[in-house]
Amino acid sequence: MLDLEEMEKRLNRHYNFWDKRFEGEGAYFAIMAPDETALDKYPPIKPPGSLEQKWFDIDYRLEENNQKLNTTYFAGDAVPIANIDFGSGILASFLGSEYKLAEDTIWYDAKPIISDWNDLPKLSLLKDSEIYKKFIGITKSFCEASQGRYITSITDVGANMDVLASLRGRENLLMDLIVEPDEVKRFLFRIDQFWKEVFDENIKILSRYKRTFTSWVPIVNQKTWYPLLSEFSTMISPTMFEDIVFPAIQREADYLDQALFNLDGEDQVKYLSILLRLEGLHSIEWDPVPKYSPKFNKVIKYFSSETSIEVYKQIQSCGKKLVIREVIPEQIEPILNNISPDGVFFVVNCSNRKEADEFLTFSRKWTKYGR
């Protein structure tokens, strides 16, 4: 991984991103690639014997994280981050929703618990549940094992509207937005209180070891932040989004020092002008839907498409910073030929160390602060 001096140098670059600088700031490039030189020392670990081991076994997850980080090459502004991944929206399970383990995620909408708005369950955080204990135990274990070599992430607690979709069921909730919008609004306030409690517990654990915070979006901040999102909202109109979802997102943003919003695909672009009014919004991550590219003969996210460029221009015109994650090197120049590099944080995936080093040299024309 990185020595501690280099780690702090790169972390200071991340902190610069969260500052208010803009004009002349330049771009940031967190460049990562498989490190083929480390495979002899850190060979692939034995696959888990079950899904329960994959998600809940602390020793297995620590071993998996150690192998992954030690066989990744971190260049430019990239720092090692341990992502405490339990899928998206674990708060629903803490409130009683059944979960279903899968190979790539955990689903929290297996059995919705709200069947009737006139007979609501008495919600409480189930701190004695297995999954809550694992969330706490794995987060603590990763922090204790880090010894400054990596940053442990905040768990994806979920967004209030998405958590409600798991508790109520998406089809039911879509109908509720039409016939019971006031019930939906009232219940979102209840979810907010639990969201804050779980978020605070996460922050409390992380702060005991190093007061730096990150997430599945691999940018580190000394202030509290979280990638806000609303996957459910792709299915509703801008009017309904502004009336019901936007105030709920604003309440989450109000609880943070700084907020980033994950704009999830082309179906959410219609909400962008509304989202840019969020108070406390620092930046937006654009996350287009992956599609097969004949040119590269693989599935990629089209970050340099006409739609993407228009999204970037709209974000920058409102003075917000931009995050572009899982981008490939060939897409960078077409992007920066159309927008300012200032305040753009790229997370770049390269194929190997050689490609990463070559791209790092190429990228320096867009960066500042001596990198």
Residues 73-106 have pLDDT tens digits of: 999 999 999 999 999 999 999 999 999 999 999 9
Q: What are the Cα distances from residue 25, in Å, to 61, 85, 144, 219?
A: 38, 32, 35, 16
Average pLDDT in the chain:
95
| Residue 316 scores a pLDDT above 70 | yes
**Confidence band, pLDDT 50/70/90 cuts, at residue 370:** very low
Domain edges within the chain:
1-35+257-371, 38-70+80-208
List, for residues 261-273, the tens digit of each pLDDT value: 999 999 999 999 9
Per-residue pLDDT, 62: 97
Per-residue pLDDT, 5: 93
Q: Count Cβ neighbours within 10 Å for each residue of 273-288 and write b for 16 or more, e otherwise.
A: eebbebeebbbbbbbb
Higher pLDDT, 345 or 371: 345
Distance from C-alpha of 236 to C-alpha of 19, rounded to nearest angstrom? 34
- The structure tokens 């509720």 sit at 176
Are the CB atoms for 140 and 212 separated by under 8 Å? Answer: no
Least confident of 268-272, 296-300, 353-357: 296-300
| Residue 42 scores a pLDDT above 60 | yes
Nearest to 149 by CA among 32, 211, 70, 71: 70
Nearest to 359 by CA among 131, 164, 114, 76: 76
Distance from C-alpha of 91 to C-alpha of 157, rounded to nearest angstrom? 5
Nearest to 214 by CA among 263, 152, 264: 152
| Residue 369 scores a pLDDT above 80 | no
**Main-chain phi, psi angles of 2, to 5 degrees:** -120, 150
Per-residue pLDDT, 116: 94
The CATH number of 38-70+80-208 is: 3.20.20.210
Per-residue pLDDT, 255: 97
Q: Is 103 exposed, middle or buried (0-12, 13-18, 19+ CB in 10 A)?
A: exposed
List, for residues 1-16, the tens digit of each pLDDT value: 799 999 999 999 999 9
Distance from C-alpha of 231 to C-alpha of 77, rounded to nearest angstrom? 29
**Confidence band, pLDDT 50/70/90 cuts, at residue 20:** confident
List, for residues 98-152, the tens digit of each pLDDT value: 999 999 999 999 899 999 999 999 899 999 999 999 999 999 999 999 988 999 9
CB atoms within 10 A of CB 269: 16
Where is 239: in which H helix or E strand? helix 238-240
| Residue 371 scores a pLDDT above 50 | no
Q: At what angle do helices 130-146 and 181-207 cross, to 10 degrees?
A: 40
**Confidence band, pLDDT 50/70/90 cuts, at residue 296:** confident
